[in-house]
Structure 1
Amino acid sequence: MRGRLFWKICLAFWCTALLINQGSWLIFFLTWDPPPSLQWVMDEKVAPVQLASARNVIETGGMPAYQALRAAMPVEQQDAIEILPVAKGAQPPAPAPNKRVMMARTPEGQQLALVYVNKGESRREWSFLRSLRRSGDYMIAAAVGGLLFAAGLAWYLTRPIRTMQRGFGRLAAGQLDTRLLPDMGSRRDEIADLARDFDAMAARLEQLLAMRDQLLHDVSHELRSPLARLNLAIALMRQNPAKAATSVERIETEVRRLDELVGELLSLARLESGGQGQDSYFELGGLVENILANARYEAKASGVRVDARFTSDNEGDSITDDSLPRHDLIVQGEFELMRRALENVVRNAIKLSTTGQVVEVELRVERGQDMEALMAPSSGRAILFVRDEGPGIPDDKIASMFDPFVRLSPQASGGFGLGLAIARRAVMALGGRISARNRSYHGRPVNGLEVQIDLPLYRGGEKG
Structure 2
Amino acid sequence: MKSLFLRIFLSFWIAMGLILAGGMAIVGTVLAYHVKKLYDVNPDDLTREARAAALQGEAALREWVLRLHRRHPALGAYIVDTQDREIAGQTLSALSADRLGFYRARAPLRIAQAQQRAEATAEPPSEASAYRPSWWNIRRIVLEDGTRYELLFDPFALSELDVFDHPQTSWFLLLFCFAVSAPICWLLARNISGPVGLLRDGVRKLAFGDLAARAEPGLDRRSDELGMLARDFNTMADRIHGLVVLKERLLRDVSHELRSPLARLRVALDLARRGGPRQATQLDRIERECERLDQMIGQILEVARLRGQPPHEMEDVVLGELVREVVENARFEAQAKQLRIRAAGCDSAAAVRADRAELASALDNVLRNALRFSPRGGEVDVTLTQADGTLRIAVADRGPGVPAAVLPHLFEAFFRLGDARDRESGGTGLGLAITAAAMRRHGGRAEAALRPGGGLLVSLHLPMAI
- TM-score norm. by structure 1 comes to 0.61
Written as runs of structure 1 = structure 2, the 5 A alignment for 1:152-171 is 152-171=187-206
Alignment match of 2:366 (pick from 345, 363, 368): 345
Query: Who is 2:253 aligned against?
Result: 218
**Alpha-carbon separation, structure 2, partners of 1:99 and 1:354:** 120
Query: Who is 2:458 aligned against?
Result: 451
Matched AA of 2:446: I
Written as runs of structure 1 = structure 2, the 5 A alignment for 1:264-283 is 264-274=299-309, 276-279=311-314, 283=318
- Residues 336 and 99 (structure 1), Cα distance of their counterparts in 2 relative to 1, 3 Å cut: closer
Matched AA of 1:385: A
Deviation at 1:159, TM superposition (A): 0.6
**Alpha-carbon separation, structure 2, partners of 1:302 and 1:40:** 118
- Residues 138 and 241 (structure 1), Cα distance of their counterparts in 2 relative to 1, 3 Å cut: same
- Residues 181 and 304 (structure 1), Cα distance of their counterparts in 2 relative to 1, 3 Å cut: farther
Query: Who is 1:388 aligned against?
Result: 397
Query: Who is 2:435 aligned against?
Result: 423
Alpha-carbon contact 2:219-2:227 (below 8 Å) kept: yes
- Residues 147 and 387 (structure 1), Cα distance of their counterparts in 2 relative to 1, 3 Å cut: same
Alignment match of 1:173 (pick from 202, 208, 212): 208
- Residues 346 and 90 (structure 1), Cα distance of their counterparts in 2 relative to 1, 3 Å cut: closer
Verify: 1:252 aligned to 2:295, yes or no: no
Structure with the larger strand share: 1
Alpha-carbon contact 1:17-1:146 (below 8 Å) kept: no
**Alpha-carbon separation, structure 2, partners of 1:394 and 1:161:** 48
Verify: 1:438 aligned to 2:459, yes or no: no
Deviation at 1:22, TM superposition (A): 5.4
Aligned residues: 351
Deviation at 1:283, TM superposition (A): 5.0
Alpha-carbon contact 1:403-1:420 (below 8 Å) kept: yes
- Residues 331 and 169 (structure 1), Cα distance of their counterparts in 2 relative to 1, 3 Å cut: closer
Deviation at 1:263, TM superposition (A): 1.6
Alignment match of 1:239 (pick from 256, 265, 274): 274
- Residues 438 and 167 (structure 1), Cα distance of their counterparts in 2 relative to 1, 3 Å cut: same
Secondary structure in 1 aligned to 2:455? strand
Deviation at 1:400, TM superposition (A): 2.6
* CA-to-aligned-CA distance 1:78-113 (integer Å, 9 cap, x gap): xxxxxxxxxx9997966433799xxxxxxxxxxxxx
Deviation at 1:23, TM superposition (A): 3.4
Farther off after superposition, 165-174 or 264-273: 264-273
Verify: 1:25 aligned to 2:25, yes or no: yes
Query: Who is 1:363 aligned against?
Result: 384
- Residues 226 and 136 (structure 1), Cα distance of their counterparts in 2 relative to 1, 3 Å cut: closer
Deviation at 1:156, TM superposition (A): 1.5
Query: Who is 1:96 aligned against?
Result: 133
Written as runs of structure 1 = structure 2, the 5 A alignment for 1:271-350 is 271-274=306-309, 276-279=311-314, 283-299=318-334, 301-302=336-337, 304-310=339-345, 326=347, 331-350=352-371
Query: Who is 1:48 aligned against?
Result: none
Deviation at 1:345, TM superposition (A): 0.9
**Alpha-carbon separation, structure 1, partners of 2:464 and 2:184:** 59
Matched AA of 1:427: M
Deviation at 1:250, TM superposition (A): 1.5
- Residues 168 and 13 (structure 1), Cα distance of their counterparts in 2 relative to 1, 3 Å cut: farther
- Residues 167 and 218 (structure 1), Cα distance of their counterparts in 2 relative to 1, 3 Å cut: same
- Residues 92 and 338 (structure 1), Cα distance of their counterparts in 2 relative to 1, 3 Å cut: closer
- Residues 215 and 138 (structure 1), Cα distance of their counterparts in 2 relative to 1, 3 Å cut: same
- Residues 133 and 237 (structure 1), Cα distance of their counterparts in 2 relative to 1, 3 Å cut: closer
Deviation at 1:237, TM superposition (A): 2.5
Query: Who is 1:189 aligned against?
Result: 224
Secondary structure in 2 aligned to 1:182? coil
* CA-to-aligned-CA distance 1:116-161 (integer Å, 9 cap, x gap): xxxxx96888x999x9989999986775464333322321221111
Matched AA of 1:235: D
Gaps of 5+ in 1: 1-11, 44-87, 101-120, 311-323, 369-379, 441-445, 460-464
- Residues 137 and 428 (structure 1), Cα distance of their counterparts in 2 relative to 1, 3 Å cut: closer
Matched AA of 1:204: R
Alpha-carbon contact 2:15-2:184 (below 8 Å) kept: no
Matched AA of 2:394: F
Deviation at 1:448, TM superposition (A): 2.9
- Residues 365 and 234 (structure 1), Cα distance of their counterparts in 2 relative to 1, 3 Å cut: same
Secondary structure in 1 aligned to 2:382? strand
**Alpha-carbon separation, structure 2, partners of 1:13 and 1:283:** 56
Secondary structure in 1 aligned to 2:413? coil
**Alpha-carbon separation, structure 2, partners of 1:353 and 1:273:** 33
Verify: 1:404 aligned to 2:413, yes or no: yes
* CA-to-aligned-CA distance 1:233-292 (integer Å, 9 cap, x gap): 222223346643232212111111011111212222232234744355655444433433
Alpha-carbon contact 1:387-1:449 (below 8 Å) kept: yes
**Alpha-carbon separation, structure 2, partners of 1:273 and 1:138:** 61
Deviation at 1:181, TM superposition (A): 5.2
Matched AA of 1:438: L
Alpha-carbon contact 2:195-2:226 (below 8 Å) kept: yes
- Residues 235 and 24 (structure 1), Cα distance of their counterparts in 2 relative to 1, 3 Å cut: farther
Deviation at 1:356, TM superposition (A): 6.0
RMSD: 4.5
Secondary structure in 1 aligned to 2:426? coil
Deviation at 1:228, TM superposition (A): 1.3
Secondary structure in 2 aligned to 1:346? helix
**Alpha-carbon separation, structure 1, partners of 2:445 and 2:343:** 21
Gaps of 5+ in 2: 1-11, 43-122, 138-153
Farther off after superposition, 215-224 or 330-339: 330-339
Matched AA of 1:452: S
- Residues 139 and 21 (structure 1), Cα distance of their counterparts in 2 relative to 1, 3 Å cut: farther
Deviation at 1:305, TM superposition (A): 4.2
Alpha-carbon contact 1:181-1:192 (below 8 Å) kept: no
Farther off after superposition, 355-364 or 197-206: 355-364
